[in-house]
Amino acid sequence: MSKGTVVTNEFAEYTDAYTGRKVTRLTSPEYMSHHPYFYYKMVTDDSRYLIYASDREGDGARQLYKMDLHDGTAVQLTEGGGVHDFSCSLTSDDKHLIFCRDQRVIRMDLASLSEETIYETPAGWQANANPGLSPDDRYLVLTEMNERDVVPERGDWSTFEPQWAARPHCRIVYVDIERRTSHVVHEEPHCWLGHPQIRPGDPSTILFCHEGPWNRIDARLWLIQADGSNMRCAKPQTHEELITHEYWLADGSRFAFVYRHHEQGLKESIRFIDPATLKEEIWMECSKYCHFISNRDHTFIVGDGQLPEEHFIYLVDVQKRTEEKLCSHGTSWKGYGNTQDAHPHPSFAPDSSFVIFTSDREGMPCIYRAEL
């Protein structure tokens, strides 16, 4: 099918057996579908339209769609190969979509579906398909890896440790979208860099990570200024400590992460760090989340449990510091050509009326909506 084609998704509503919450399956279990990575803007400000990826044709070429959450109709936004299906984000005004295809970062006009390239990774480097967009849509930050150090992916986690062990030459690139200029912020010849995110309200501050197995990396959380100055480790850690998965609060005041210590009896906890002082706040104990995110006003947090006995989407009341089960995600965490195809990656609607997550509980990975 080509871009502009309209398809129809048939919704299937059910009551969660564990919590009694209303949950709706938005896509068919006959083919693979998932929403973007959890900290990207994927739902329009009116909470009506969802950006998602799907392999409806079964040909392995995943395309992006815009779904009407009222009736399930969806417009196909892309066609052809090379689309990075997790790395797409709506702009702040919902008029454009930023996504990656092969080595290019593209801005699409959602009214005309016209595309323009705003940045292209140069020859000799491979783009990491998780760019960070500033909330005002002006700047973009991404990481690149020298091609000679790339370990080819197999669609599972078997290449994760070998890629870390390759000690790849990586760099952080900062793009001024308005001026169409870019510069290298930071370069490391023997370290895997990933997940760059621009601080809301302060586009000069970048949060990024040292990627790799939790018990092999030196430390996960790092900060640097856009001009390459003041690089600092935000939280030193030992090989008994695991940190996952960091994100900025919407007001830019702090960034959040989940902390786990591999010592029997110690609970996982939600923590915050002030980027200026690096002061750490231990907020509350929580279940073992793989990913988590706050809503816009930071009144609630949603997370996905990893363990077989923690097969839930969890909802945290920030003011009360309490956690409850929203629903069971029931996913297998398997890969279907991409390691994270069946990861729940829960994320809030802008009005916090529902949570979007992915699961393969009924067949292929599908997108679900849990009402709040």
- Bridge partners (DSSP) listed for residue 90: 97
pLDDT value for 53: 98
Full-prediction pTM beyond 0.95?
A: yes
Task: Return all residues near 61 (Cβ < 8 A) that are at least 6 apart.
Answer: 55, 80, 81, 83
Compute the average pLDDT of residues 188-209: 98
DSSP-H helix ranges across the chain: 160-165
Evaluate whether 280 touches 233 at the Cβ level (below 8 Å): no
Q: Which amino acid is at 47?
A: S
3-17, 18-32, 148-162, 262-276: segment of lowest average pLDDT: 262-276
- Bridge partners (DSSP) listed for residue 120: 104
Whole-angstrom Cα distance, residue 210 to residue 201? 24
Residue 348 has pLDDT above 70, yes or no: yes
Compute the average pLDDT of residues 148-153: 95
Helices then strands (H, E): number in the chain? Answer: 1, 31
Q: Which of 125, 126, 104 is nearest to 115 (CA)?
A: 104
pLDDT value for 62: 95
Whole-angstrom Cα distance, residue 171 to residue 287? 34
Continuous segment of H or E residues that includes residue 277: none
> What are the structure tokens assigned to 113, written together?
């579906």
Burial (CB count within 10 angstroms: exposed 0-12, middle 13-18, buried 19+), residue 181: exposed
Structure confidence by residue, pLDDT tens digits, 48-63? 999 999 999 878 789 9
Whole-angstrom Cα distance, residue 145 to residue 62? 23
Structure confidence by residue, pLDDT tens digits, 305-318? 998 899 999 999 99
| 3-state percent breakdown (helix, strand, coil) of the chain, nearest 5 | 5, 45, 50
Give 152-180 as a 3 state SS string. CCCCCHHHHHHHHHCCCCEEEEEEECCCC
The correct answer on CATH 2.130.10.10 for the domain covering 1-120+334-372 is yes
Whole-angstrom Cα distance, residue 296 to residue 350? 7
* Residue that the structure tokens 């994100």 belong to: 247
Residue 366 has pLDDT above 70, yes or no: yes
Residue 263 has pLDDT above 90, yes or no: no
User: Could you give phi then psi for residue 165, rounded to 5 degrees?
Assistant: -65, -20
The correct answer on CATH 2.130.10.10 for the domain covering 122-286 is yes
pLDDT value for 264: 65
Residue 266 has pLDDT above 80, yes or no: no
Compute the average pLDDT of residues 64-72: 98
Q: 262: pLDDT confidence band, cut at 50, 70 and 90?
A: confident
Structure confidence by residue, pLDDT tens digits, 83-112? 999 999 999 999 999 999 999 999 999 999
Ranges of beta strands (E only) in 31-160 are 33-34, 49-54, 63-68, 73-76, 83-90, 96-101, 104-109, 115-120, 125-127, 132-133, 139-146
Instruction: Tell me the average pLDDT of the chain.
Output: 96
Residues recorded for the chain: 372
Q: What burial letters (b/e) apply to 289-323, b meaning 16+ CB within 10 Å?
A: bbbbbbbeebebbbbbbbeeebbbbbbbebeeeeb
Compute the average pLDDT of residues 213-240: 96
Whole-angstrom Cα distance, residue 211 to residue 233? 14
In the chain, the N- to C-terminal Cα span, in Å, equals: 35
- Bridge partners (DSSP) listed for residue 125: 146
pLDDT value for 109: 98
pLDDT value for 265: 66
Q: Which amino acid is at 273?
A: I
Compute the average pLDDT of residues 293-302: 98
Q: Which of 215, 353, 245, 263 is nearest to 306 (CA)?
A: 245
User: Could you give phi then psi for residue 222, rounded to 5 degrees?
Assistant: -140, 155
Whole-angstrom Cα distance, residue 246 to residue 238? 17
In the chain, CATH 2.130.10.10 covers: 1-120+334-372, 122-286
User: Could you give phi then psi for residue 15, rounded to 5 degrees?
Assistant: -105, 125
